[in-house]
Amino acid sequence: MLDDVSFTLDRGEVLGLLGPNGAGKSTCLRLLTGYLVPAAGRADIGGHDVRQDGQAARRLLGFVPEDTTLYPHLTVDETLLLFGRLRGLDEVAARRERDRVCVRLGLGEVRRRNVGKLSRGFRQRVAIALALQGDPPLLVLDEPTNGLDPWQILELRELVAELAPTHAILVTSHVLAEIERLATRALILHHGRLLGSRAVSRDEPGALEREFLAMTAPARH
């Protein structure tokens, strides 16, 4: 449950939703992506209300859930083509987007492998490739580094940095260090409430952690 949480996100920003488990991060994403309907208030994507004009809003959104469910018997190529068509692309556009995101995510060597036989890191790349099809302006990444090894985490950080200038990116994590490395701005959630917002600076290591602890510690007593 969220209580009076309000924020905006523009292209060129990487906004981190930070909070302990149960803070409301996943609820926020479910409202934006249309999995939940708000009891009050509204959420807009590109001027489209996600409840009143959900189809138009979702066209502007690429979503990578924490645990992406893919069809294990399909190849990477088949998966990308299928989801491209489900996104509303015609056959030619779906094939073009499949080829583009395969290059973008470095999937060339696994395109003909079944998804179920891929490593966790490659499955995450496929999930991000699916979200990038159609080049939506808003990307939502839910706990994107979960289960990745250190090299894969570094690759993900580089990818987010490359995409940031031309996209608005919303990232959730309960790991302070990941938000410090990925985000340009952070929102601190606790018990469904927005406690604060601050810019994230690479020149102030640990500053976000100190602010997070200062904001959330009183709420625990």
pLDDT of residue 176: 84
- Is residue 112 over pLDDT 90? yes
Domain shared by 16 and 39, yes or no: yes
For 44-57, letters b (16+ CB in 10 Å) and e give ebeebebbeeeeeb
- Percent of the chain at pLDDT > 90 equals 45
Residues 101 and 175 in one domain: no
Residue count (the chain):
221
Q: How many Cα atoms within 13 Å fall on the side-chain side of residue 10? A: 1
Confidence of residue 89 (pLDDT cuts 50, 70, 90): very high
Note whether residue 126 is domain-resident: yes
Please indicate, yes or no, if residue 65 is contained in any of the structural domains. Answer: no
Task: Give the model's confidence band at 68: pLDDT under 50 very low, under 70 low, under 90 confident, else very high.
Answer: confident
The pLDDT confidence band at residue 190, using thresholds 50, 70 and 90, is confident
At which of 135, 164, 182 does a domain end? 135
pLDDT of residue 221: 43
Q: Which structure tokens are listed for 48?
A: 């489209």
Half-sphere exposure of 181 (CA within 13 A, CB side): 14
pTM score of the predicted model: 0.88
Whole domain around residue 31: which residue ranges?
Answer: 1-60+137-221
pLDDT tens for 163-177 read: 999 999 999 987 888
- High-pLDDT (> 70) share of the chain, %: 96
Q: Are residues 53 and 95 in the same domain?
A: no
- Which stretches of 71-221 are DSSP H helices? 76-86, 91-104, 120-132, 150-163, 176-182, 207-216
Burial class (CB in 10 A: 0-12, 13-18, 19+), 6: exposed
- 105 vs 110: CA distance, rounded Å: 11
Q: Which of 1-5, 9-13, 73-77, 188-192 has the lowest mean pLDDT?
A: 1-5
pLDDT at 54 over 50: yes
Q: Kindly indicate the confidence band of residue 114, based on its pLDDT and cuts at 50, 70 and 90.
A: very high
Task: Quote the pLDDT of residue 218.
Answer: 58
